[in-house]
Amino acid sequence: MADYAVLEAVLGYTFRDRDLLERALRHPSWCNEQAAPRPEDNQRLEFLGDAVLSLTVGHRLMARFPAAHEGDLSVTRSQVVSETGLSEVGGALGIGAWILLGKGEDRSGGRTKPKILADAMEALAAAVYLDGGFQAAWDLVERLLAARIAGAEIKNFYDFKTRLQETAQARLKATPTYRVVSEAGPDHDKRFVVAVTIGEEEWARAVGKSKKEAEQMAAADANFRLEGSNAGVRPKK
C-alpha cells in the first residue's frame, strides 16, 4: 500500500484504517486490470459519500440561511456539491494524483476529468465517515468546502426550468424535455422521480414531492452540468 501520509495531510485527517482510504481512490478502470480476486472499487463509497455530503452541507446551509425555503435550500446544496463544484475542490487539492486509474483512463487524462475527481471526493467523504464517524466527516466538510458554502447564494427554486431552457437552446440548440421515471409512496406523501433530457442525452434525474418540484430539481442539476460543460462536464451516465 502506498504511503498516504501526504494525502492525509491534504485532507486534514489521519485514517485508522488506510484500506478505506485506498478503496476511496480505486477507480473501476484500475480494479478491472487487477488479477482475481478483483479489489472493490470506490463506487459504493461514492453512493454513501453523496449522502454524507448532502447531510453535512445541508445542515450548514440551514444554519446559514435560517429563513430559506426547502426547495431553495435543496437547489443551493446542489450548487455546492455538484460535479463541477466537487471536481474544482478535488482539482485544487491535487486529488487526481492519488487516484488509482487504469492505464487507458490515465492516458486519456482521467486525473483531471471532473466526474472522476467528483466521484473520488464523494468516496473520500464516505471513507472519513466510516473511519471516524459523523464528527470527522463534518470537520472534513468544514475544511474542504467551507469556502464554497460561504460563497453560496440562495437560488430561486422556480427559476431553473426557464434558465435551463435558455442555456440549452443557446449552447445545444435543443429544448429540454421532462419525463416521470417513477413514483412511489401513498397518495398523501408521494415521491416523483423525473429525468430531464436534452437532445438524445439524459442530463439529470431528481426526486420531488410533486412532479413540478422534481422537474425543478432536475433542471437545476442539469443546468449546473450544462454550465460546466466547457470544463468537460457531460450528461449524467
Positions marked catalytic = 50, 122
**Residues forming a β-bridge with 176:** 198
Can you give the length of the chain in residues? 237
Task: Give the residue from 49, 59, 46 showing the smallest Cα distance to 149.
Answer: 59
- All three cell numbers of 73, joined, read 435550500
Task: Give the residue from 227, 221, 224, 216 showing the smallest Cα distance to 204.
Answer: 221
Which strand (E) or helix (H) includes residue 70? Answer: helix 70-80
**Residues forming a β-bridge with 182:** 193
Side chain identity at residue 231, one-letter code? A
Cα separation of 46 and 122, whole Å?
Answer: 5
- All three cell numbers of 5, joined, read 501520509
Q: How far apart are the first and last CA of the chain?
A: 31
Classify each residue of 125-154 as buried b or exposed e, where b means 16 or more C-beta atoms within 10 Å of its C-beta: bbbbbbbbeeebbbebbeebbeebbeebeb
Cis peptide before 37 (omega within 30 of 0): yes
